[in-house]
Each structure stands twice: as structure tokens, then as C-alpha cells.
Chain A
Amino acid sequence: MSIPLPEYIPALIVAVPLLGAFLTPLISRINDKLRNIFVILVLGLNSFLVSILAYNIFTKSAQEPYIMKYVFGGSQNIDFSLPVVRILFEVDAMSIFMAIIASILVFVTVIYSWAFMKENTGLDKYYTLLLLLTAGMLGMMLTGDMFNFFVFLEITSISSAALVAFWTHKGESVEAGFKYILISTIGALFVLFAVAILYGQYDALNIAVLSNAIQYTFLDKIALVLLIVALAMKAGMVPMHMWLPDSYSRAPATVTIALVGATLASLYGVLRVIFTLYGNVLSIPAKFGIPVNVLIGWLVIPLAVLSIIVGVMMALRQTDFKRLIAFAAVAEIGYMFLAIGTGLAAMGTEYGRIALEGGIFHIINDALDVGLLFLVAGAIYYATKEWSLNEMGGLARNMKYTTIFFVIGLLAVAGMPPFNGFASKLIIYESTFQLNPILAIVAILCSILLLATFVKVFQSAFMGPKLPKFKDVKEVPRSMLFAMGILACSIIFFGLFPNLILENIVRPAADALLSNAQYITTVLGGA
């Protein structure tokens, strides 16, 4: 059963936060509290829109992949086989899956910000940027047009760089913000260059039209490499990860968790480019009779393994709490890419499909786990004004709930049952083992090391004798606990009922990625 929905819902999902962003400074002039309520209402409305659209799409794609199309500027049917220029939103199960993640993360961010950012000035700008970031992320996920993707990518980069540098009184924050905008701009410019190459050849910007026409010429190869490298850089894959620990650790904790969403939006871009844009040419033989999918898959896998190893090793020797989590996030990105690479290299086989499902499932799990850990780090900073693990100790005595949330996040990120990280990592281990056992062994070993890292953190921050300087430390305010509670509850829920999520949400998303032909006919078929 599905609810009849007006077709302009996808446009509203981007328009609501955009409008909210520019209303926020106005409302901020009346009252600060009113502004906070307004922002929460806007994002609540947005999450509501995302969830009804998601419900609709997931129920309809239970039988076959369903794609919702919205054409801007006229509802008339357009013959897309001619060179027409129209911006359009194409929402399939994968896009809406990512949109759910983004809305959860941003919603948690605003609730957490209520108390966490209270002491700061200039909060009207903060909320405006946050809403712009939301609009950009959601736009990246829903759009069906390459140039439009670039525009939203830039909106996301600009607003997140400004947010990273929000604490301008700290030199390090500004530096991290500068690094982020530099990297993002280079990435975005190369995306634009690739889009221009594709436009020059096929006279189209629409993803479906391009995907239908693509030939895998020499120029297409250049465009593919540019797109994958630029977007993987923005997703924080080793060896292009150097910006990620700086930006993640120097930004306010609330911004970091929104940044996780922006990073995952770039990951979505990689998936969309490989599976949909180049979906038609994936099985043709490239060099030495090796099909393109195997080639790309085996290019991605070593980098993914490297990401896991580098992320975990660097996390082990950090003493800065947030930097440590940031390197763990690099490792988690590696797990996703490992699963995606396996899915690509073994495309067409059963375990390749399962690997892809595991990778997609891991996206939402990573967002929740890493998000929760960053929020815990933020809570500790809020209570003690301390980032360094060497200075902390005995905090479990003062901050009961935060400790519980940290343990949940720790076990989830290290892939221990019964939390959600276990569910997706087990799928990844099983499927990569069938491709090559060494991959699975490395993945499991690094997961154990990750557990060791976080146990070390747990020991040094929460255990131990009560430190005299933390005598007056109190539990964090209720809004922060509530925000962490939302994430912790979802982690436990996802961990206890992984099949529910896997069958209803993740599988349609994986199907949507693999059924490239459906994506093309939805646009070209004129229906």
C-alpha cells in the first residue's frame, strides 16, 4: 500500500531547508529561542517529507525498482532523446536511502546544538549555514543532472567549510576550514571538468541520457577517473584523506556530525557515477579482455584496504579524542569502499550483490556509530573543555549516561554484536572472503584493532580514579543527552533487527543501483 503523493515532493525536500536557511536570520532578530524552535521545525518538516517519500518509494520498489521523477519548469512530457536541457530530480531507493541518513544526522545536529552551541555568538549564521548544508546534501542525493550535482556539491562544500571554521577565534579551526575548502574546490572543479567532457561528447547533462549514450571512449575514461578521484577525495579515501582528520577534529562536534553526512553524500556520488552513469559500459571488456567492472573493482579494493589499515593504525596512536574518531571514520569509509569494490569486481554473482548490500548497509551504520562517538566527544568537551585523552580520567563517575552512550558507540563501531556495526561488517566479511580470503582477514583484524583503540580511550577517559580538577564536572544538558539517545536507540534497533532494515531498505537501494536500465527508461520512456 502506498499513499498518493504530489509529484513535487522531491523539490520540496530541497526547497524547505533552503527557504528556512534564509528565514533564519530574520527570525533570529526576534528571539533566539524562537529561532532554535524554527530550525527544529523546518528540519522536522523536512524529515517528515523525506520519510513519506521514502515510505512510498520503498513500498513501490518491493516488486521492481521504482524511480520517482520530477521535472523542473513544466510538467509536460518531454522527449529526452532529443538534446533537451531540463533540470530534473530522479529519486530511486538509493537516493532516498541516503536522504534518510542525511536527515537523521542533521536533525540530531540541531537538537544537540541547542545546548552545545549556546555560549557562542553568531548563531544565526551557524543555523543558516547548517540549513544550507542540508539543502546541498539532499540536492546531491536527489538530483538527476550532472551539472546540478556539481552545483549542490559546491553548496555543500562552501557551507561546510564555513562551518568547520566557525570557531574563528581558534587558529586551527580556520586552518582546517581553509584546507577543507581548498580540497573541496579542487574536487568540484575536476567534477565540472568531467561534466564538460561528457557534455562535449554527448550533448547532454542528464544522468540517464548520458548513461544511455555512453560509449567508453578515451575521453569517457578520463571523465570517469576525474569523477571517481574527485569524489573519493571528498569522501575521505586514503591516500586523499589528509583533510578529513583536521576538519573533523577542529570543527565543533555538531558540525562534525553534519560533515559526516556531507562526506557520505560524496560517497553516494561515487556510487551513482560508477553504477548508473557508467552502468551500461561496466561489462564490456577493457584492457586484456578484463571487463571494466573488474578493473574498477580491483582499483578500488587496494585503496579501500589501505584506508582501513591507515585509518586504524593512525587512530591507535592519537591522543586527541576527536582526531582519533576521525581516523576511525577513515577506516569505516574504507570498509564501505571495500564492500563496493567487491560488489564491482564480482558483479553479477550472488556474493557480489551481497557485498554491495553490506556496503550500503554499512553507510547508515557508519553514520550512526561515528556520529554517536563524535557527539560523546563533544559532550566531554562541553563538560571538561578538554580534547586530549591524556588530560581526562574518571569521567564515568560524573557522566553516567555519556559513558553508556560511549560504550554503545564503541561496541557498534568495532563491529560487536548485538549492535548494528556487527550486522553490516559480518556481511562484508562473508562476501569479501569469497572474493579473496586475505581481504576478509585484513578487515577482521583491523576491526579488532579498532576495538582495542576504543577500549584504550574508554580506559583513559572514563575509568580510573577521580581527578580533582573534574570535581565539578556534571552530566551534560538534556538536549544533548536526547540527541545521543536518538542515535543510540537506532544503533540498538538496527543491531537487533538487521533483517528488517536489510530487506525493506537496503535491498531496494542495492537493486536500484544495479538496475541501471530502469533508471534510463524512467526518463527516456517519457512516462
Chain B
Amino acid sequence: MIYNIPYIAVVCLILIGLYALVFKRNLIKMIIGITLIESGVNLFLITLGYRKGSIAPIYTSKPEGISIMSLPVPQALTLTSIVIGVAVLALMLSLVIHIYRHYGTLDVRKIGRLKE
């Protein structure tokens, strides 16, 4: 059970993020929702690579007697994903700045000029 806690956290993070995206009307809060989903996915990747009692996967500084290492691949994937996430976040926030300049509000309902 105790080992499943990270997975439960992953699901919670993603669900909270989706909730924020669907029900929040403030653009910044929607962006927070996106970052929450992203953290959830990153946590999922990291958890996949973790083994109980393992050490960091650095062969040169391996202490005697410990043979379990956590998987390095998910960590590399997570790093890449974090970097991409930062780029996306920066772009989204800069777009929000522009939107605020144009409309003077961050409320989706008030901005809604893009009608069918």
C-alpha cells in the first residue's frame, strides 16, 4: 500500500489539474492547472524508475554492497519533460500578458469575443 502512494498522488495531481482547466475561468489558474498535470506526469515517470533501497545511478560512486540502482532513463525523460514544460509555461504566460493588454481582463467569459 505504502508504495502506491506516489501513484495515488499522480492521479490526484492530474485530476486537480483537469478540474482547474475545466472549471476555473481565470487564465492564470488554467495555466496552474496545466502545470499541475505536468507535475503529475513527471512524478509518474520518476516513480516508475524508483526501486526500494536503490541508490542514484552513478556507477563511479557506487558504494560497496549495494547493487540496486534506480533506473536512469525515466529521470532523463523527466528532465527533458521539465525543460519542455518551462518553455511552454513561458510562452503561455507571455500570451496571457498580451491578452491582458488587449482586453484588460483575464476572465475567459469576458474575453469570449471569438464567437462562432
**A interface residues with partner B (beta carbon < 8 Å):** 85, 147, 150-151, 154, 157-158, 161-162, 165, 168, 171-172, 174-179, 181-182, 185-186, 189, 192-193, 196, 199-200, 205, 246, 250, 314
Contacts and interface: CB of A to CB of B under 8 A. Distances in A.
Contact of A158 (B74, B81, B88, B98): B88
A171 B113 CA distance: 9
A200 B6 CA distance: 14
A158 B87 CA distance: 8
Nearest to B18: A186
Contacts of B37: 186, 189
Contacts, number: 84
A508 B81 CA distance: 35
Looking at chain B's contact residues, the main secondary structure is helix
A61 B111 CA distance: 53
Given A171-B99, A171-B102, A181-B91, A85 B73 contact: yes
Given A181-B95, A200-B48, 10 more contacts: A147-B80, A158-B84, A175-B113, A178-B92, A182-B34, A185-B88, A189-B34, A189-B38, A196-B44, A199-B48
Report which residue of A165, A176, A246, A250 has the largest number of chain B beta carbons within 10 angstroms of its beta carbon: A165
Interface in B56-109: 73-74, 77, 80-81, 84, 87-88, 91-92, 95-96, 98-99, 102-103
Given A192-B41, A193-B44, A246-B114, A182 B92 contact: yes
B16 interface: no
Nearest to A179: B114
19 contacts: A154-B84, A158-B87, A165-B98, A171-B103, A171-B113, A174-B99, A175-B99, A185-B38, A189-B34, A189-B37, A196-B44, A196-B45, A196-B77, A199-B45, A199-B73, A199-B74, A205-B73, A246-B114, A250-B114
Looking at chain A's contact residues, the main secondary structure is helix
A147 B73 CA distance: 11
B87 A192 contact: no
B55 interface: no
Contacts of B84: 151, 154, 158
Given A174-B99, A177-B95, A185 B34 contact: yes
Contacts of A205: 73
Contacts of A151: 80, 84
A162 B93 CA distance: 12
A149 to B, nearest CB: 12
A186 B34 contact: yes
Contacts of B87: 154, 158
Contacts of B96: 178
A172 B91 contact: no
B41 A172 contact: no
Nearest to B14: A193
A440 B113 CA distance: 37
Report which residue of A181, A186, A196, A246 has the largest number of chain B beta carbons within 10 angstroms of its beta carbon: A196
